[in-house]
Amino acid sequence: MEKIIKAEHIVFRYPAELDEHQKPVENPPILKDVSLEIEKGSFTAVLGHNGSGKSTFAKHINAILLPESGKMYVENLDTSDENLLFDIRQKAGMVFQNPDNQIVATVVEEDVAFAPENLGVPPAEIRQRVDEALKAVNMYEYKNHAPTQLSGGQKQRIAIAGVIAMQPDCIILDEPTAMLDPQGRQEVMQTIQKLNQEKGITIVLITHYMEEAALADRIVVIDDGNIILDDVPKKVFSQVDKMKALGLDVPQVTELAYELRKAGYPVPAEIITEEECLQALENLL
């Protein structure tokens, strides 16, 4: 399949800081020789504990950060080429943790129209894009509302709509549900799955919720600036001991199956959904 994102031997460190004597102290690299390819139309979850480098990697995809060495390509466009910046950010849109930091207007539809207007899209096409984007996230009926009147999950869906209106081929979401309640998290994850499955938008999801990662086609685990695991969710989460050693959890049903196997019960290792767990328990009984 066609590759939409190619990271080639990326090394990145944040700028040196001054010590108490005003001398520069070089920071250690956050990313260490990271190479990764992501297929167009796929859904990839990136996991890692705080400080592992997962969000730093995400910010390289749409050129918020640039590699110290190595290359990042989005649809064969080099992110280090300043002349390509607008093209890259149209192709790879980013959604952040706090939707309030992305909402800039006092009316929902005006907020969704903000990016297309700045890109010089004709008014008639903006109208069409805004309507389609709001329908895609099931927020069309709220188009004349004030964002301040919406729940956290609704605000995040508006932020996602604002990115969709740019018609990107890829959306990077950096812990988009971290500030939401369970209902809001469910709303946002349903939206993400719909965009991937129905519209073919490539999804790169940075998350610390294992149940969210289990919905992806592929999981990449980053630790200390290196890719440690890269496989389908069942293969990654079946390595319970390794995940725990990396300071990460696994889905609760995977944890239950793991404990049952430790107790001597013949339960499959690759359980990541409630349905699979239920079936395994029924087989035991």
Is residue 12 domain-resident? yes
pLDDT band at 21 (very low <50, low <70, confident <90, very high): confident
Instruction: Find the mean pLDDT for residues 34-62.
Output: 95
Spatial separation of the C-alpha atoms in residues 179 and 171, rounded to whole Å: 19
Question: Bigger pLDDT: 181 or 56?
Answer: 56
> pLDDT tens digits, residue range 153-168?
999 999 999 999 998 9
Is residue 283 domain-resident? no
> pLDDT tens digits, residue range 107-154?
999 999 998 998 888 999 999 999 999 999 999 999 999 999 999 999
Give 104-130 as a DSSP string. Answer: -SSSHHHHHHHHHHHTT--HHHHHHHH
Is the pLDDT at 1 greater than 80, yes or no?
no
Is residue 270 domain-resident? no
pLDDT band at 219 (very low <50, low <70, confident <90, very high): very high
Is the pLDDT at 26 greater than 90, yes or no?
no
pLDDT band at 242 (very low <50, low <70, confident <90, very high): very high
Answer for the pair 51, 208: CB distance below 8 angstroms, yes or no. no
Is residue 276 domain-resident? no
Q: The CATH number of the domain where 69 resides is what? A: 3.40.50.300
> pLDDT tens digits, residue range 68-79?
999 999 999 999
Q: Which domain holds residue 202?
A: 3-233
Tokens read off for 212: 């969210």
Q: How many domains does the chain have?
A: 1
Is residue 222 domain-resident? yes
Question: Across the chain, what does the average pLDDT equal?
Answer: 92
pLDDT for the residue numbered 119: 82
With both helix axes pointing from N to C terminus, report the angle between 123-136 and 108-118 in degrees, rounded to the nearest 10.
130
Is the pLDDT at 24 greater than 90, yes or no?
no
Model pTM score? 0.91
Answer for the pair 201, 168: CB distance below 8 angstroms, yes or no. yes
Answer for the pair 36, 5: CB distance below 8 angstroms, yes or no. yes
pLDDT for the residue numbered 178: 87
pLDDT for the residue numbered 181: 87
Is residue 219 domain-resident? yes
pLDDT for the residue numbered 173: 95
Give 247-262 as a DSSP string. Answer: T----HHHHHHHHHHH
Share of the chain above pLDDT 90, in %: 73
Is residue 259 domain-resident? no
Is residue 94 domain-resident? yes
Lowest mean pLDDT among 22-26, 29-33, 170-174: 22-26
Instruction: Find the mean pLDDT for residues 187-195.
Output: 92
> pLDDT tens digits, residue range 224-234?
999 999 999 99
